[in-house]
Chain A
Amino acid sequence: MTVTAAPADATSASTPAPAPPARLRVAWLVAGLVAVVVVAVAGLVVGPVALSPVAVLRELVGLPTRLTTQQVDIVEQIRLPRVILGLAVGGTLSLCGASYQGVFRNPLADPYLLGAAAGAGLGVTLVIVGSSTGAATPTAVPIAAFIGALVAVALAYALGSSAGGRASTASLILAGVAVASFLTALQTYVQQRNQDTIREVYSWILGRLSSASWHDVGVLLIYAAPAWVVLLAHRRVLDVLALGDDEATTLGLHARRSRLVVIVAASLGTAAAVSVSGLIAFVGIIVPHTVRLIAGRSHRVVLPLSLLFGAAFLALTDLLARTLSSPAEVPIGVVTSFLGAPFFILVLRSTRRSVEP
């Protein structure tokens, strides 16, 4: 990830001009876009068949190149959908994680907080076990994951809001924990009863982008793109919600409705990501927190940068996952944690020293 630019507000303390409010600085936006493009190009040219970046870029914009038909197919049918899927899944999970952390005012919230992962896992297990051949059709698995994730979140939300009277964040989180644990137990039970399919279920749970196709990209974007728009539009609302429901209400916000809209959008985005990529942990927590530590805590900064850097981060880890022990692939969930955790600790240590008085 290219996060080398210095914090932009380091010089403004000495200037007499009135301070500007927290907003996304152009330098950060550019850095995020550059990271996305660099990682995307790397993802297209690196692999068993090495290609020239110039030739690939010319091919993509429709200029004549010396690439063979086979090389063009590698770019357009194998690497490009995989790169785009990695970018979209990473951006979606980071953005949804950042939104969940904001709306629940809980730094440990991740996109799977309300049981999306457990619901998707159960859905996929049921489909795989239920298919007569033991190998579910490639189209059924994403649909099952999507529906499972949404049902779990809806269940958690309904339970949480009925238990707390008002949908207090604490009762929602607890309901999410209960639903997730119940569905996981159910999924484990079904899986144990059908041991012949464990391998297939497990490989889905570990997360993968290896079978990426243009169809997957389409499925994801139909749901994820509207979720991005809704979440990014709520960036200032999330800053107001950070004051708690009472104060947000006295500031004229319909706190409960705003929270519901954010939860629905983030859950839809998460379900779409899970349906095409399986369970990729960690991205939804590590990327937003890194952005917070480096670029600022306002959701007006955190949400757009989480989308961009989350996209670049996952596409990069996917690139490493398929090249480190090529021709074999390391599960991407392993790489995200292996790479992300030390990096995050590093960021945490270096910013603690400079930020805290």
Chain B
Amino acid sequence: MIKCAGVTVTLGDRNVLDGVDLHVGRGEWVTIVGANGAGKTTLLRYIAGLVASPGELHLDGRPAPSYSRRDRARLVAFVPQAPVIPDGMRVLDYVLLGRTPHIAALAVESRRDVAAVHEVLDRLDLVAFAERVVTTLSGGERQRVLIARALAQGSPIVLLDEPTTALDVGHQQQVLELVDRLRRDHQLTVVTTMHDLTLAGQYAERLVLLDRGEIAVEGPAGDVLTEANLARYYDARVRIINDGGRPIVVPLREPGS
């Protein structure tokens, strides 16, 4: 579904991404991990079409530049980590903006678009929130609204940048369970970035560990999340507890401190 080769992104005089090759299959969930500044968000933004690169990107079997903006938006939905939420905008109107690629240039939404939005709100248990102002919602509710907008977009590829960063552990689980349920129900291809490695390993089918713009390790969570890898690429002291094939990452303090 997503296939990129030789992605190199230079910001200033620094290569944020350096020759990244990534394949993501249809319906797969891939999570990009890596230390701060490793290039996780940039890779996601590249797939979303927000940063240019001399590399090659194929989406659904076709070169990405061959899509019009609108068609590309119908294919790829992007939920940024810190989205701009306009003051005073209600949940319903915010989710409706997700229908933009389905609405002609200067037209307004059709009955079908409104129906699609109501269906999404219903699916995500957001009907009671439809008339609430987005900025007054709690972190967990807000994240659900963001996912609702991406779902309303109807795109088979969904990119989520740090979808759980601002949430407590319970809401982190709820949001990721929701994404996983939607992925199965709609055959979505999901690419996320994540800092919590334990959660990343529990939900993604494959992890991609970026280090200074290059893919260092990639594979199932058990192969990527090892004590040696985390020491090398995160400079972290951790213990890995194996929970039936899913690694649990426990940070350790320096002995004697």
Q: Would you call B147 an interface residue if the criterion is a C-beta within 8 Å of the partner chain's C-beta atoms?
A: no
Give bound CA distance, A357 to B138, whole Å.
Answer: 14
B30 to chain A, nearest CB (A): 19
B80 touches A246 (CB 8 A): yes
B93 touches A251 (CB 8 A): no
A21 touches B83 (CB 8 A): no
B131 touches A23 (CB 8 A): no
B109 touches A251 (CB 8 A): no
A236-254 interface bits toward B, Cβ cutoff 8 Å, 1 = contact, 0 = none = 1101101110110111111
Residues of B within 8 A of A22 (CB): 90, 92-93
Given contacts A233-B106, A251-B101, A252-B101, contact A19 B89 (CB under 8 A): no
Which residues 84-128 of A sit at the B interface, judged by CB distance below 8 A?
105
Which residues 11-34 of A sit at the B interface, judged by CB distance below 8 A?
12-13, 18-23
Residues of A within 8 A of B92 (CB): 19, 21-22
User: Which residue of A234, A244, A298 is within 8 Å of B84 (Cβ)?
Assistant: A244
Residues of A within 8 A of B85 (CB): 243
Given contacts A297-B87, A298-B93, contact A21 B109 (CB under 8 A): yes
Give bound CA distance, A233 to B84, whole Å.
Answer: 23
Please name 17 further chain A to chain B contacts, defined as beta carbons within 8 Å, in addition to the given A247-B80, A252-B69, A292-B88, sorted by A numbering.
A21-B93, A21-B117, A236-B108, A246-B78, A249-B49, A249-B69, A250-B48, A250-B50, A251-B101, A252-B68, A252-B73, A252-B74, A252-B101, A254-B69, A296-B88, A297-B86, A300-B108
A237 touches B86 (CB 8 A): no
Interface residue count on the A side (C-beta < 8 Å): 34
Residues of A within 8 A of B106 (CB): 233-234, 236-237
Give bound CA distance, A163 to B118, whole Å.
Answer: 43
Given contacts A23-B108, A249-B69, A251-B73, contact A240 B50 (CB under 8 A): no
Residues of A within 8 A of B (CB): 9, 12-13, 18-23, 105, 233-234, 236-237, 239-240, 242-244, 246-247, 249-254, 292, 296-298, 300, 355, 357
Give bound CA distance, A252 to B71, whole Å.
Answer: 7
Q: Would you call B77 an interface residue if the criterion is a C-beta within 8 Å of the partner chain's C-beta atoms?
A: yes
Residues of A within 8 A of B87 (CB): 297
Count contacts between A and B, CB distance < 8 Å: 94
B130 touches A250 (CB 8 A): no
B111 to chain A, nearest CB (A): 11
Q: Would you call B164 an interface residue if the criterion is a C-beta within 8 Å of the partner chain's C-beta atoms?
A: no
Which residues 84-122 of B sit at the A interface, judged by CB distance below 8 A?
84-90, 92-93, 96-98, 100-101, 103, 105-109, 114, 117-118
Residues of A within 8 A of B74 (CB): 252
Give bound CA distance, A163 to B83, whole Å.
Answer: 25
Q: Would you call B76 an interface residue if the criterion is a C-beta within 8 Å of the partner chain's C-beta atoms?
A: yes
11 contacting pairs across A/B (C-beta < 8 A)? A9-B131, A18-B127, A105-B84, A236-B106, A237-B105, A244-B84, A247-B80, A249-B50, A251-B73, A252-B70, A297-B87
A240 touches B100 (CB 8 A): yes
Interface centre among A22, A233, A246 (most CB of B within 10 A): A246
Which residues 48-88 of B sit at the A interface, judged by CB distance below 8 A?
48-50, 68-74, 76-78, 80, 83-88
Give bound CA distance, A349 to B81, whole Å.
Answer: 34
Give bound CA distance, A233 to B92, whole Å.
Answer: 22
B96 to chain A, nearest CB (A): 5
B100 touches A252 (CB 8 A): yes
A250 touches B93 (CB 8 A): no
Q: Would you call B136 an interface residue if the criterion is a C-beta within 8 Å of the partner chain's C-beta atoms?
A: yes
Give bound CA distance, A234 to B71, whole Å.
Answer: 20
Which of chain A's residues has its CB closest to B101's CB? A252
Give bound CA distance, A300 to B90, whole Å.
Answer: 14
A250 touches B73 (CB 8 A): yes
User: Which residue of A18, A251, A253 is within 8 Å of B153 (Cβ)?
Assistant: A251
B131 touches A13 (CB 8 A): yes
A45 to chain B, nearest CB (A): 39
Give bound CA distance, A251 to B73, whole Å.
Answer: 5
Given contacts A236-B108, A252-B100, contact A247 B84 (CB under 8 A): yes
Interface centre among B71, B77, B103 (most CB of A within 10 A): B103
Residues of B within 8 A of A13 (CB): 131
Give bound CA distance, A20 to B96, whole Å.
Answer: 11
Give bound CA distance, A268 to B209, whole Å.
Answer: 52
Residues of B within 8 A of A237 (CB): 105-106
Give bound CA distance, A251 to B109, whole Å.
Answer: 14
5 residue pairs, one from A and one from B, having the closest CB atoms: A252-B73, A252-B101, A252-B70, A251-B100, A244-B84
